[in-house]
Amino acid sequence: MAERAGGAGLQVTERIVRVLKAFSESGTALGVSELARRLELPKSVVHRTLTSLVRTGFLQREEASGRYRLGPEAIGLGLAALGRVDLVEIALPHMEVLRSRTGETVTLSVRVGSARVYVAQLVSPQDVKMTVEIGRRWPLYAGASGRAMLAMLPPADLEQHFATVQLVPLTDRTIVAEEALRASLAEVRAQGYAVSLGERDPWAGAVAAAVITPARGVLGAVSVCGPLPRFTEDRVAAFVPALKEAVQGIGERLGAAPHVLPVS
């Protein structure tokens, strides 16, 4: 009887791991039916597992769609595994100030291999605003946050990215020609921030800068993002000083000397 109980417990644990891994690999919200097909499990079993994971905070259920996505506990574990468990807590006060100064949504992303993941956001108070999906993966080369991090990687890591990642367009404005992307990254390094105008989402604009410390390298990126028509050249330029202050402040709080970004 004990062996049977132990075997059942192991099956439950393995099923939970498979479910969480499916969300991690998908990088987006999933429904019960879709997840059951992926894992080749009965829908009733998947539903019970999802309910348990929601109750413990490892998943969240979207009320509007009924789909599920990674919750704060899962994201916290991921940050701990990356050695960045302190990043969100330290970043949030600086993100609050940045949101109040810009009036736009402010996000925090971290690098996971050749991708980036949103780990926190503070939503704009305006009626028309941008929101992001926490826990969703996006390629580093597409969008301001990704390019802000990619540009600041050590040369060997950057070359590894170009050697292994296929540049696939997400919109008609995504930079997918290697020469053009390298030129864009050089510009980001020179000015200390990246701008995206419809690169990842055709309706969204963003300006982002990397969070960097000398001891720990690139830890993440903070972005100011919103509807594309509001991201005019003048407004982006106005956002940059506050953005640079935010990422520098986060770097200082992370216990290292500040990474000084050039003011342009």
- The domain spanning residue 185 has which CATH number? 3.30.450.40
Position 234 in a domain: yes
Q: Output the pLDDT for position 229.
A: 96
Q: How many domains does the chain have?
A: 2
Position 75 in a domain: no
Cβ atoms of 259 and 245 closer than 8 Å:
no
Position 167 in a domain: yes
Bridge-based pairing of strands 137-139 and 68-70 is unpaired
Listed residues 70, 92, 117: the one ending a domain: 70
- Residues 32 and 132 both lie in one domain: no
b/e per residue 112-146 (b: at least 16 CB within 10 A): bebbbbbbbbbebeeeeebebbbbbbbbbbbbbbb
Q: Which residues of the chain have pLDDT under 50?
A: 1-6, 257-264
In which domain, by residue range, is 47 found? 2-70
- Residues 114 and 47 both lie in one domain: no
Determine the Cα–Cα distance for residues 25 and 83; give it in Å rounded to an integer: 20
- Residues 153 and 198 both lie in one domain: yes
Q: Output the pLDDT for position 75.
A: 63
- Residues 130 and 247 both lie in one domain: yes
Tens digit of each residue's pLDDT (9 = 90 or more) over 40-92? 888 888 888 888 888 877 777 877 788 887 766 666 566 555 555 578 888 99
- Residues 133 and 240 both lie in one domain: yes
- Residues 104 and 8 both lie in one domain: no
Q: Output the pLDDT for position 234.
A: 97
- Residues 60 and 164 both lie in one domain: no
Determine the Cα–Cα distance for residues 93 and 61; give it in Å rounded to an integer: 27
